[in-house]
Amino acid sequence: MTTEIEKRSLIADVEHRAADDKRTLVGYAAVFERLADIGGYFQEKIAPGAFTDAIKGDIRALVDHDMGRVIGRTKSGTLRLQEDGKGLRVEIDVPDTTDGNDLWVLVERGDISGMSFGFRVTKETWDETGDVPVRTIEKLNLLEVSAVAWPAYDDTTIGLRSLEAARAEGGEREDAEKRKAENAAAARRRIAEREARQEQQIRGIRQDAA
């Protein structure tokens, strides 16, 4: 796995609610166990529980993954994250700012209909038994969630490097197991040779005694 930031988007309905002078966007940044095609190179899914610890941190809500366009934060209560049976649920209280107002209009118009999240993988597994490798993200560090218009799959190479690292690690395990087997076989041969020499010596002693 790598320590670089990855981004994933879910293009789905984003609900907007306005009540008591508060405007809130509600949607899912991720859905569990849903296979996503990552650039045609591999498929990916997120395991339930992946966000359990990740949402305990101080997370910010952004527009289009732009760190300069903050529209919410868990520490201030304007961003609320929940891991439920479906995935990562997001609620953002949209601020009365240029970015907030623009975002609200774009969601109302249907121009923005997706949510995304930036993350670093901390635990993953790869399955290469099928035609296309499948990556399962089991644990991650959540850095931010974003309202987006386009899926963010431009970082496919990060996942591919993670796959190569997993393959290399698997190769190292195979080499270690091979060396272990070879060492065990060599030890068995040495024991057999020593026992054969001892047997030969015993036979020689018996012949001399006779």
Q: Tell me the C-alpha distance between 157 and 145, whole Å.
A: 21
What does the pLDDT look like over 32-88, one tens digit per residue?
998 888 877 888 999 999 999 999 999 999 999 999 999 999 999 999 999 999 999
Q: Tell me the C-alpha distance between 65 and 68, whole Å.
A: 9
pLDDT at 158: 46
Single-letter amino acid code for the residue at 1? M
Say whether pTM exceeds 0.75. Answer: no
Which string of b and e fits 153-192 if b means at least 16 CB within 10 Å? bebeebbbebbeebeeeeeeeeeeeeeeeeeeeeeeeeee
| Least confident span in 24-28, 46-50, 130-134, 155-159 | 155-159
Please say whether the beta carbons of 156 and 196 come within 8 A.
no
